[in-house]
């Protein structure tokens, strides 16, 4: 059997495809030169925009035509569309994709792939290393918490082992991947069902969960030993390096939000000696001072930070359920610039979000000018199934206005030379 994998979407999907490829190889399959010569086609789907979803329907239906020539051909659909279908308890989305893709032989949840096989890396220099999957933030426009589910962090030591092995094999650049990398470890500390909302952990969490007053911040080991994926506390702390790890308590808007292990993880990976250590994506509300210090201290950590802002107007940010104001964002940028000389930023922005007025969009332009992004991944808002925006808000900005706003930011950020003409 010859396989071909077609991947849509973000680096996380591409990283998942590397592990899918490894599973196919372990079953004795070989890689086809093109989709047309394959007997086993895996489509790793993306749902972040309506356009990405429509491209999948188009491709699978074209494969249906190939099936008339190659009777052995199997089409497997996986990734975000299948994730959503299996999480939608009404069954409506599964019905929809079954009807839209009658040529698909199987809908495979990505969770079934797991981490047992080493991924088939696409290059010998750069490697993606997933550190968490899913998201608990529920931005109102975003389908990710429904496609990938709640945030689950990989055990700390598994990540360090994977990175150490990559270093020994001669890889130069590492990118740590997750939907919100800087909340890495919150579930290892608080439990998988934690709700990462703004709450004052100092008042309630410490005593209830650990019997320790907030003054004595517990170590990861004392919080149940889950970080290492090993037995709970009680071992000899001299022999156990993780016993010394103290989670970083992220303070945002004057309150403790979540504990995270990301600053420790990033520093430990940086110290392995790669030429460059990147991480994507991080969110502004989990960008702790400790994380800034780690980046400042370790020169091999990226100086181009991807920091999604999504909008530069406080009312739009509130409708998006993003936990910061435009001022909070620009203050964070200023803080990073003051501590890390030469640091640059890229971002994600959605234009034409529900109810976005000319004045609100003008505030986004203002923020972009103030920050001076190196690059922006711009999207015109489109409704996504199950999200709060689809359920509760009106997609009322005309498409022509969305296009106009998209072009303004595209010229401003991604093609500054066009502005000068
Ligand atoms: S946009 Fe919001 S909900 Fe979507 S993955 Fe990022 S933080 Fe999570």
Q: Is the pLDDT of residue 102 over 50?
A: yes
The residue assigned the tokens 């000068």 is 420
Half-sphere exposure of 220 (CA within 13 A, CB side): 31
What's the mean per-residue pLDDT of the chain? 86
Q: In angstroms, what is the span from residue 394 Cα to ligand 1's centroid?
A: 20
Q: How many CB atoms lie within 10 A of CB 192?
A: 14
Q: What is the DSSP string of 36-68?
A: GG-SEEEEEE--SSHHHHHHHHHHHHHHHHHHT
Q: What is the pLDDT of residues 3-36, one digit of tens each?
A: 999 999 988 899 999 999 998 998 899 999 999 9
Q: In angstroms, what is the span from residue 350 Cα to ligand 1's centroid?
A: 12
Separation of alpha carbons 215 and 232, rounded Å? 22
Q: In angstroms, what is the span from residue 281 Cα to ligand 1's centroid?
A: 9
Global model pTM greater than 0.75: yes
pLDDT on residue 200: 42
Could you tell me how far CA 147 lies from the centroid of its own chain?
12
**β partners of residue 106:** 76
Per DSSP, the three-state class of 10 is coil
| Integer Rg of the chain from CA | 22
Nearest atom (ligand 1) to Cα of 180: 7
pLDDT on residue 194: 61
Does 145 sit in the ligand 1 pocket, CB within 6 Å? yes
Q: What is the pLDDT of residues 248-293, one digit of tens each?
A: 888 777 777 778 899 999 999 999 999 999 999 999 999 999 999 9
**With bands split at pLDDT 50, 70 and 90, how would you rate the model's confidence at 217?**
very low
Q: In angstroms, what is the span from residue 307 Cα to ligand 1's centroid?
A: 12
147 and 48 Cβ atoms separated by less than 8 Å: no
For residues 59-87, give the mean pLDDT.
Answer: 92
**With bands split at pLDDT 50, 70 and 90, how would you rate the model's confidence at 388?**
very high
Pocket test for ligand 1, best of 136, 179, 381 (most atoms within 8 A of CB): 179
3-state SS, 65-83, equals HHHCCCCCCEEEEEEHHHH
Nearest atom (ligand 1) to Cα of 138: 3
Separation of alpha carbons 257 and 384, rounded Å? 27
Q: Is the pLDDT of residue 204 over 90?
A: no
The domains of the chain, with CATH numbers, are 2-112 (3.40.50.12160), 123-298 (3.30.750.210), 303-421 (3.30.750.200)
**Which has the higher per-residue pLDDT, 271 or 188?**
271
**With bands split at pLDDT 50, 70 and 90, how would you rate the model's confidence at 323?**
confident
Nearest atom (ligand 1) to Cα of 142: 4
* 399 sits in which H/E element: helix 399-409
Provide the Cα torsion 115, 117, 121, 127; round to 10°. Answer: 40
Does 139 sit in the ligand 1 pocket, CB within 6 Å? yes
Separation of alpha carbons 120 and 112, rounded Å? 17
**Residue 87: phi, psi to the nearest 5?**
-95, -15
**Residue 223: phi, psi to the nearest 5?**
-85, 20
Ligand 1: which residue has its CA nearest to atom 2? 139
Does 135 sit in the ligand 1 pocket, CB within 6 Å? yes
C-alpha closest to that of 307 among 282, 332, 278: 282
| φ/ψ bin of 390: left (φ > 0), alpha (ψ from -120 to 50), beta (otherwise) | alpha
The residue assigned the tokens 């490894």 is 22
Helix crossing, 289-297 with 326-339: angle to 10°?
30
Buried b (16+ CB within 10 A) or exposed e, 238-248: eeeebbebebb
Q: In angstroms, what is the span from residue 317 Cα to ligand 1's centroid?
A: 13
**Which has the higher per-residue pLDDT, 130 or 195?**
130
């Amino acid at each position: 059997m010859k396989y071909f994998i077609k991947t849509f979407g973000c680096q996380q999907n591409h990283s998942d495809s590397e592990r899918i490829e490894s599973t196919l190889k372990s079953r004795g399959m070989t890689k086809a030169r093109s989709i047309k010569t394959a007997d086993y086609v895996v489509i790793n789907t993306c749902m972040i925009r309506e356009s990405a979803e429509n491209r999948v329907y188009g491709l699978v239906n074209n494969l249906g035509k190939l099936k008339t020539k190659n009777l052995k051909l199997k089409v497997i659909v996986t990734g975000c569309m299948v994730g959503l279908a299996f999480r939608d308890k009404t069954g409506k989305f599964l019905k929809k994709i079954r009807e839209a893709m009658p040529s698909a032989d199987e809908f495979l949840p990505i969770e079934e792939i797991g981490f047992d096989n080493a991924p088939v890396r696409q290059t010998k220099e750069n490697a993606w290393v997933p550190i968490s999957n899913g998201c608990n933030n529920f931005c109102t426009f975003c389908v990710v918490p429904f496609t990938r589910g709640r945030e689950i962090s990989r055990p700390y030591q598994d990540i360090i082992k994977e990175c150490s092995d990559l270093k020994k094999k001669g890889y130069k650049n590492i990118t740590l991947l997750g939907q919100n990398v800087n909340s890495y470890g919150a579930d290892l500390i608080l439990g998988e069902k934690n709700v990462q909302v703004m709450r004052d952990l100092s008042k309630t969490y410490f005593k209830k969960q650990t019997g320790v007053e907030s003054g004595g911040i517990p170590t990861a080991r004392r919080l149940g030993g889950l970080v290492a994926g090993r037995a709970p506390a009680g071992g000899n702390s001299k022999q156990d390096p993780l016993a010394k790890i103290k989670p970083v308590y992220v303070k945002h808007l004057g309150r403790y939000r979540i504990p995270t292990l990301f600053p420790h993880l990033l520093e430990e990976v940086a110290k392995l000696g790669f030429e460059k250590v990147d991480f994507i994506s991080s969110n502004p509300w989990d960008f702790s001072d400790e994380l800034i210090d780690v980046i400042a201290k370790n020169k091999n950590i990226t100086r181009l930070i991807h920091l999604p802002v999504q909008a530069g107007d406080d009312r739009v940010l509130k409708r998006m359920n993003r936990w910061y104001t435009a001022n909070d964002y620009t203050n964070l940028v200023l803080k990073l610039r003051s501590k890390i000389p030469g640091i640059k930023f890229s971002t994600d922005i959605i234009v034409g979000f529900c109810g976005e007025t000319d004045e609100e969009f003008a505030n986004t332009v203002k923020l972009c000018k103030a920050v001076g992004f190196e690059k922006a991944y711009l999207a015109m808002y489109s409704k996504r199934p199950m999200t709060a925006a689809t359920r509760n808000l009106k997609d009322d900005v005309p498409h022509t206005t969305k296009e106009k706003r998209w072009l303004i930011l595209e010229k401003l950020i991604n093609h500054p030379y066009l502005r000068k003409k």
